[in-house]
Structure 1
Amino acid sequence: MSLEDLIDELDRRLADADAALAADYPGDRGARQPVHTVYVPADKYDGNTVSDWGAEARAALEQYGGCAAELAEALELPPGLADEVYERVRAKLAREPIEDLRIDFEDGYGTRSDEEEDAAAVAAARALTQSMRAGATAEGAGAAAPYHGLRIKSLEAPTRRRGLRTLELFVRELSAAGGLTDGFVITLPKVTSVEQVEAMVTVLAALEREYGVPELKFEIQVETPQAILGSDGTALISRMIKAGAPRVTGLHYGTYDYSASLGVAAAYQSMEHPVADHAKDVMQLAAAGTGVFVSDGSTNVLPVGDRDAVHAAWRLHLRLVRRSLARGIYQGWDMHPAQLPTRFVATYLFYREGLNEAALRLRAYLGQGESGYLDEPATAVALAGFVLRGLDCGAVDPVEVDKLIGVDLAALAQLARRPGRGR
């Protein structure tokens, strides 16, 4: 048998495996990943929520960190670090204080009468449309989140009917008002089986047919041990991604439900507990190469009270966000307006601190200098992706990329293997 004949034979033998690899691991989908998701209970949400959160976040920054030096002292940052990001964060809180908004009909909303939740679903959908229309105007900076949606109740038997009724009302109202955009996403909480993901796909397909709307997307919230380890010993979260593809866009870790379900005492439930790290390690492995985003959870220590209490909560939040970023988890939850300053300070510091080295190594990879590193193509992809993430959230400016790396954004996206980069 000649070499060409052997290769042809191998192509035939491996055709199914090649097709499965391409289908199951399509790679980066070219979309922007928000740095956080903000959860607002449905009864507390209205068309001004995003701008109100931005105003409250700016007020908290002004009161408890009125200048770069004061913020550096409050957060125990080395001198000069806060100078690098302070004005950028102030501008972000005015321009886009919330990157991803979720109107919560689950734990944050609780159990209400059907009449009350029906009315809340319709009102929230109308308010979301109002917010997006305001944000689309030149005067509406900071009025809307580019990503938005709702968290419904779970598909477990006791809440299934209520959760799906709320979803149907919300989608119906949004579609009637022309408010469904490519930034719309649904969060499915407390997923315990692959069958629930398959059921969600069926529901969304039915809603699309009924209301003539584009393909609806959803996130899986990992809050139960069953999502990580099934009764058959397999990592069900991987099978859930496959069952929901291509509708599944994200995996969100639920800090407190998951920790409690494993018997962790309340005082020790946190984003950095070993059980949390294990779950997120599995989530990252399952999502790798699929184009599905992974999000960390939240801290329930809120920056409220006197000055010392706010600063202590800020330091904790800053450390936890930086820890997630270092672990390759680029998104988390925020639950209070005063968490937004430290979300963006931590995020901006991460990208600003790494920008010069990433640029140096990319220039060397492109043959435009030396860096002291011999980077392989996969590392170049990671370096370019790092810079793109910094650009997406506002930590890095396009002019800096051109100056430091010598490439335009299209070339940078090609390096990151994100040629279709969009929102």
Structure 2
Amino acid sequence: MSLDDLLTELDRRLAAADAALTADYRGDRGVRQPVHTVYVPADRYDVHTVEDWAAQARAVLEAYAGSAAEFAKVLDLPPEFADELYDRVRAKLDREPIEDLRIDFEDGYGNRPDDEEDAAAIAAAQALATGNRTPYAGLRIKSLEAPTRRRGVRTLDLFLQHLGAIDDGFVITLPKVTSVEQVEAMVLVLETLEQQRGLPRLKFEIQVETPQAILGADGTALIARMIKAGGPRVTGLHYGTYDYSASLGVAAAYQSMEHPVADHAKDVMQLAAAGTGVFVSDGSTNVLPVGDAVHDAWRLHFRLVRRSLARGIYQGWDMHPAQLPTRFAATYLFYREGFDQAAQRLRAYLGHGESGYLDEPATAAALAGFVLRGIECGALETTEFDTAELAKLARRAVPES
């Protein structure tokens, strides 16, 4: 067999594997990932929710850290970043206090009479259509488990009927997923509603809060199969801190985002999502910054957000307005601290100097992604790179297929 014949045979033998790799691992979608998802119970959501959250966040920041020095002292911020971080957090609360909003009809809302949830679904959809819009927004329906299946689909249908125009930032959260079949069923639900209502393609997130999602009865990691079953409609995996921990028998006092069972679940989620374009989000802390506990809760939240970022998880849940200052402070510090080295290494990779690192293409793409994430959330400015370099960064962050 000649070399040409060998190569032709290899192409033939590997054609199916090549096609599967392209189909299953689509790569970066080239869209912004929000730094958080804010969950608001449906009966507490109205057209003023975003501005109310911003006002409450600004008020608690003023009351408990009225200056950059006080904020830095509470969170033990590096002195060289204190003033800048404080100013950026305040500007963010004015400009874009919520990046991703989810109107909750599940645990945060509870089980209500049908007529009450029907009315709430209609009111929430109308409020979302007319209120202060966020880059991403949507709703969390009840699960497709048998007891809540009909109610969840009914709420989704009513919501979509009264929402009006649907943009690319609209996302549905499917909670308590326990089987691949539920993901397939969700695809059927969305396809049917699209056809009936003349809607654009709808997207959804899988909430990972049951042990069955991580390890199925057959011993396989079902979450990877769930991503495949949902196809391009699946945009995210969201970890559910407390449902998951409780399901594994972790005592309430020890349930947290940093418990070993949480880390294991999120490791599996990251592995399953790698290369697929599906975002991974951490969960929440239920220790709220209220009353006399504001500073302690701030320090905990700040540390947990930083921990998630260091582990490569760039999104998490926020459940209270007073968590916004520490969400943005932790996120901004992460990007500001890492920016100088990332910029130096990228410039060196692009042939503009030395960095002391021999970076390969995958690392260059990760460095570029780091900088672009920082720009998207407001931690970094485009003026810190010239236009030509920024264009190169974008190409590195989303490599050509």
TM-score when scaled to structure 2?
Answer: 0.99
Q: RMSD between aligned alpha carbons?
A: 1.1
Corresponding residue of 1:342: 326
Q: Is residue 268 of structure 2 the alignment partner of residue 287 of structure 1?
A: no
Deviation of 1:52 (Å)? 0.7
Q: Is residue 397 of structure 2 the alignment partner of residue 416 of structure 1?
A: yes
Partner SS state of residue 150, structure 2: helix
What does 1:16-415 align with in structure 2 at a 5 Å threshold? 16-131=16-131, 143-174=132-163, 177-178=164-165, 180-306=166-292, 309-402=293-386, 407-415=388-396
Q: Distance in 2 between matches of 1:168 and 1:313?
A: 38
Q: Give the conservation status (yes or no) of the 8 Å contact 2:224–2:272.
A: yes
Partner SS state of residue 388, structure 2: coil
Partner SS state of residue 90, structure 2: helix
Corresponding residue of 1:137: none
The amino acid of 1:357's aligned partner reads Q
- Closer, same or farther: CA 152–414 of 1 in aligned 2, 3 Å: same
Q: Distance in 2 between matches of 1:343 and 1:418?
A: 29
Q: Give the conservation status (yes or no) of the 8 Å contact 1:96–1:144.
A: no
Deviation of 1:415 (Å)? 1.1
Deviation of 1:390 (Å)? 0.2
The amino acid of 1:258's aligned partner reads Y
The amino acid of 2:40's aligned partner reads V
Q: Distance in 2 between matches of 1:69 and 1:417?
A: 39
The amino acid of 2:41's aligned partner reads P
Matched residues, number: 401
Deviation of 1:408 (Å)? 4.2
Q: Distance in 1 between matches of 2:320 and 2:40?
A: 9
Q: Distance in 2 between matches of 1:52 and 1:419?
A: 42
Deviation of 1:81 (Å)? 2.7
The amino acid of 2:188's aligned partner reads T
- Closer, same or farther: CA 419–121 of 1 in aligned 2, 3 Å: farther
Deviation of 1:418 (Å)? 6.0
Q: Distance in 1 between matches of 2:194 and 2:69?
A: 52
Deviation of 1:83 (Å)? 1.9
Render the CA deviation track for 1:26-78: whole Å, top value 9, x for unaligned: 10010100000000000000011011101111111111111110101111223
Partner SS state of residue 80, structure 1: helix
Deviation of 1:401 (Å)? 2.2
Partner SS state of residue 157, structure 1: coil
Render the CA deviation track for 1:363-417: whole Å, top value 9, x for unaligned: 0001100000000010000000000000110100000122xxx734332110111
The amino acid of 1:155's aligned partner reads L
Partner SS state of residue 101, structure 1: strand
Q: Distance in 2 between matches of 1:418 and 1:51?
A: 38
Q: Give the conservation status (yes or no) of the 8 Å contact 2:365–2:399.
A: no
Q: Distance in 2 between matches of 1:20 and 1:256?
A: 35
Q: Percent sequence identity over matched residues? A: 79
Q: Distance in 1 between matches of 2:390 and 2:105?
A: 39
Partner SS state of residue 32, structure 2: coil
Q: Give the conservation status (yes or no) of the 8 Å contact 2:104–2:139.
A: yes
Deviation of 1:80 (Å)? 2.7
Q: Distance in 2 between matches of 1:113 and 1:409?
A: 53
Deviation of 1:241 (Å)? 0.2
Render the CA deviation track for 1:297-325: whole Å, top value 9, x for unaligned: 0000000012xx10000000000000000
Deviation of 1:419 (Å)? 7.4
- Closer, same or farther: CA 22–419 of 1 in aligned 2, 3 Å: closer
Render the CA deviation track for 1:156-182: whole Å, top value 9, x for unaligned: 0000000000000001111xx32x111
TM-score when scaled to structure 1?
Answer: 0.93
Q: Distance in 2 between matches of 1:378 and 1:85?
A: 30
Render the CA deviation track for 1:204-263: whole Å, top value 9, x for unaligned: 000110111110000000000000000000000000000001100000000000000000
- Closer, same or farther: CA 390–15 of 1 in aligned 2, 3 Å: same
Partner SS state of residue 187, structure 1: strand
- Closer, same or farther: CA 72–419 of 1 in aligned 2, 3 Å: farther
Q: Distance in 2 between matches of 1:212 and 1:66?
A: 50
- Closer, same or farther: CA 219–87 of 1 in aligned 2, 3 Å: same
Render the CA deviation track for 1:130-169: whole Å, top value 9, x for unaligned: 11xxxxxxxxxxx321100000000000000000000000
- Closer, same or farther: CA 409–368 of 1 in aligned 2, 3 Å: closer
Partner SS state of residue 373, structure 1: coil
